[in-house]
Structures are given as structure tokens and as C-alpha cells.
Amino acid sequence: MGIDERAMRERLFEAALSPELWTDCLISLSDYVGGSSVNLIVLDRPGERPYLEHFVRGDDHTYASYIETYIAIDRRVPRVAEAPVNTVLLEHQVLTEEERRTDIVYNEVLATGGMRNLMLTNLSAGPAYMGVGVAPHDDAVPFEPEQVERLTRILPDFRHALRFYIANRDLELQRSALGDLWAYAGKAVVILNIHGAVLFANQRAEEMQRGGLMRMSAGRLRFAERASELAWQQQAGRLHGDAAEPFGAFLAEHPVTREQYSVRLVGAAPIVSSLPSFKSPAVILTLEPLSEALSIGTREIDRFCRLFGVTAAESRAVAAVAAGRPLDALAEEAGVALDTVRKQLKSAMLKCGVSSQKALISRLERFCFVCAG
């Protein structure tokens, strides 16, 4: 028994945070109690197949056969599920002597796979059944009372770590589903905690990060362009100030291409409120290129042009540029020379304070974003 109780507790919570460590953790548990194989299962209700399982130090083929064929008819499972939590049950407490002689699961799987005389325990919390079983080195010899006591002492922490593990797993699934939902709508999504640490970023958000719009620094979101970063910090502050606002929005700009992005923030209630780590509200950011985020119609263009004193004729030239329509088509439709339309567009750009069609569109998009927000 080369691992002490304190180290065992630490490994349980390390595995809760990093699921890839469960195999090593259960091996440590085996060493801690002086056992052999260990299995950990989580299922919605007895009689169903587990949706989460880990198995170490045993015959993988026999265990796979048990999960595939026998667990649904294993009479021990509902009995353990009905037992008080954090209590170790031994074989004689879940199967009678007669059942051990005649039970199919016991004789076809447990007795032939080195899984007799297990210590079994109910670690359930909520509707799901969570249980663990530990086999002795020699499955013909039951565990000693001191070994049972060693396992019993760590069960409360084992159960708490397992609850955290399941809650964290469910949270990850919710984040992923949320991110995928927005991805289908063409949006990037980033979810952060109240301290600004990134909890989740969907594929489109990662593409924007690789493209240079933003970066993750020490696990925190940063925008590459200075004014965009200042706007982000300001909006995040408003979301968490004393007079917290549930929504926010700002424009971000790519530092190289100067493409503009619509960024909207939502303060979200905790998804998992029963665990201390998740009591801080999350912040959800959605991002998309401004050209995709806006619907620029005749009404928006008319309002924009009135703001800058653009005439009706000049406004039609602005609308043509916004729609990607050739100026010669507009000239033909209006019955004027192409040079006249070009002059109208040039006059409109001068009034709007820009020197290129690209800058004109950028200013129009910015105007529509502000009005929409």
C-alpha cells in the first residue's frame, strides 16, 4: 500500500479536473486499498448500460462482455444503488449464498474473471447512479476489515470528486452544443468566466484567433488591435460593475486587414450553481464580420445619408456601392452619364469624410451597427 490517504484524495480531485488521469487514479486506488481490478460506472438508472465507465487492472475482454451483456441483469446493481451512499458493501451483503451458487452473472462472469468478493459502494448524487467496485488480489479471499476501513475513509471525497467530474463533463457538453449552435448561424462564440478566463471557444472563434483578430494570453481573451482591446475591457467592466448591464456590444477591428467585426456580450447565469467553481457568472461573446452581421437596406442608407447631408442622387450612388452594384448599371437606369454618377459618389464620400469606397462601406456598416445596438 504505497500511497497514503492524503495523496489518494489529491489524485481523486486531479482526475475530476483532468479526466485523462482517471486510469492512473484508479490504479492508485487499487494500491491504496491493496486490491486488484477497479471499475467505476455511471448510469442513468439500474438496468441500463453505463454512459461513463473506467476499468483498470483486470481482464478487459471479460469486463467488456459484462458491460455488453450482463450489467442489465446484474442483481447487485439495484441493491447497491438502494444502499446508503458512502457505505462499503461486501459480497455477502449483496448476494445470498444461494444466489452465488445459481446466479448467471456471478458464475459466468465474476467467478471466471477474478471479480468475486468485491468491495462495492454507492456514490450516487442526483438521479444518476455512480458506483465503484474494487476486487481483492485473490478473489477467493475477502478483504480484511482494515482494507474496508481505508476505502470507507476516502469515500466522501471520492463522491465529491465524482460529482465534480460529472458536472464538469455535462458543462463541457453544454458549452460544445452552444458553440455548435452559434457556429451553424455563422457566429464565433467564446465563453468566459467572470475573471476573463476562457472556458470554451468554438471552431470559428479559433479560426479568428489564428487569423490574428484576437489571441489567448495566459488563458484570457485579448484583442490584437489596441482600440478593440480597450473597447472589450470597457464592455466587460460594465457587465460586472455595481450597476451591471446584462448586454454589451462593440466593434473590433483586425489590426492588418482592418476588417470590422461585430462583438456582442451577454452576461449568463451560472450553468452549474451547486459547485463553488461555477458560481461566478459566465460571459458569452459572439463575433462575426460586420458585413455578415448587418442587414443594410434602403431605410438604413437613407438615414446614413441624411446624417451627412448627402443628396438623394448621391444616396443612390452610395446604395449601389453598398449592394456591390456597378455604377454603369446605375447610370443606365437613371438615364445619366457614368461620369455624373461617379461625381455623385465622390461628393457623397467627401461629405462622409472618406476617400475610398471600402472606407465608405466601413463607415456605413459602423453606423448601422451603432443604430442596431
Q: Where are the domains of the chain?
A: 5-164, 185-293, 298-372
pLDDT tens digits for 184-193?
Answer: 556 788 888 7
Phi, psi (rounded to 5 degrees) for 228: -65, -40
Question: Which has the higher per-residue pLDDT, 236 or 42?
Answer: 42
Decide: residue 283, CB within 10 A, 0-12 exposed, 13-18 middle, 19+ buried: buried
Residue 137 contacts residue 36 (beta carbons within 8 Å): yes
Q: Give me the pLDDT at residue 90, please.
A: 97
pTM over 0.75: no
Tell the CATH topology of 298-372: Arc Repressor Mutant, subunit A (1.10.10)
Separation CA 303–CA 369 (nearest Å): 13
Separation CA 50–CA 40 (nearest Å): 10
Mean per-residue pLDDT, 196-216: 87
Q: Give me the pLDDT at residue 1, please.
A: 47
Separation CA 350–CA 305 (nearest Å): 12
- Rg (alpha carbons) of the chain, rounded to whole number: 32
Specify the DSSP class assigned to residue 301: H
In Å, how far from its chain's centre is CA 275? 16
> Which of the four pLDDT bands, split at 50, 70 and 90, describes residue 294?
low
Mean per-residue pLDDT, 66-92: 94
Residue 158 contacts residue 132 (beta carbons within 8 Å): yes
Mean per-residue pLDDT, 71-92: 94
In CATH, which superfamily holds the domain spanning 5-164?
A: Transcription factor LuxR-like, autoinducer-binding domain (3.30.450.80)
Q: Give me the pLDDT at residue 24, please.
A: 94
Residue 304 contacts residue 289 (beta carbons within 8 Å): no
Question: Which has the higher per-residue pLDDT, 91 or 368?
Answer: 91
Same fold, 185-293 and 298-372: no
Is 185-293 CATH 3.30.450.20?
yes
